[in-house]
Chain A
């Protein structure tokens, strides 16, 4: 139905896709999996006309095509259901469903009765019953996604691409979605399904393609692929592979104190985290393991007060920290290096100097006046210690390389002398040399008695850097690896575990909780 051959896509400095072959067949649900940066989203964007490939060709329905806009791809019958629903929330369900194709009467005016009937029928066809004259936003996220799906089907989509459709759905909504996907399959529509939830993949997908570092590492029938094998393909590590020491700059274990400095208990955020607890002792590096979307970043953000929690407590040195407040967490000594460095970390338009001093400003000031001498001293210290390379302290941080940006951020937090440092993907997207330096620094900081939480998609980094690994899956702690058990095999096994009898659906049914909590979650996304 839709296939690409030898597709490559270059970005400045990065080869996002190289020689990728991929085929979506009619009546087949094809899983597309891979860790962060594997090239999944780039491939989807190539398929839907957002990006043009630098090499290779796209064949749709037997003819080579070239989409220059998403609209062209859509008109050719390729529809995408995004993670966040891409519809107009204030318009009614029917108007969303039929925008641009409204039935009109002889005067050229829209015939609402026919429109509502058509919309009703289209949704019934998928087994969904909603009042189509109600505004879309009054529906649950799941129902909204169904409307997006119905719209895709209604415009004669031959290929439907779903990008993590279940990430914010209730278990019951997931069931409906799966029914609809089954229906699409029967109608001979090709479905491309992107998800990190192992259980879901095995439930509804027929075929699988695994991407890693912009290349296809495996493609074939999903049923023929063991779970453990799939995980190892995604992470790029072989089971039982002899670990070569010294690839990373980590020295090994640290001497940790006995009493934990950070205690997080029962952190819960609707749809995202369920009862996550962890402790970190001074001088200890605790890794957070798990696949993308398992709740690692959310855990870090919840601890740092950057995400409001529905339940749970965080305390530092036995003193409780007010939840949902970044300033309170920072005062308590918790610092977070966020995952999205460009959007949430650096202030790109400000200088290196100002970025480093930003969080510590109140401490570097007297009577509201910034003490420039002290700022200079601190900046100087950290630029030297972290070997930040820039044209000078007055260069804009946005102009620095990724590695140096990350060091600037680290300096910003270290200037506060934190007790707990939460590092979310500290070495992603930075070059090899800087990566080694950052890794060495993490070691050094732990030796200095800092409590470190390390999140990394780089399994090697996680295993070698951490003294202990807490494994998350679907927003809950599923395992904890300590001592000699901190190995890649154990990590992969923990991630790939089949759901026990009390599966995801039953545990996650706790949040039939108050609707307020859903809204508070919703608002943080803006």
Chain B
């Protein structure tokens, strides 16, 4: 059970990085590892997910509006099944995420895909976020309340 939870956390963490990368970036990273045989279990498909918010930010959920989502599933020759879901309509990206998800579950490939694909993409994502956070931080402001009847 614990092992199952650990693997689930790893898969989620990998997906959280991959969803932010471009298909071309994932493909380029994947080319650096010798891939096992694999096939599409479900060809990429585009659809919608209804995005939900909460009343007041923390209350009951409500439907805000939909987003386009692409999804796919891939099976490795070893039997591992990976799933790929991503915002947008890039079916190839969904397929690559599914392939990575299958590799993350594979005893033989989990380390390689983490080291050569996910870790560098995570690093890149963190750099991008840090840059944005620093630019945002420069616009932090202190408002002073003017005291009436003085000066």
Question: Do A and B come from the same complex?
Answer: no
Give B contacts to A, CB under 8 Å.
none
Give A contacts to B, CB under 8 Å.
none
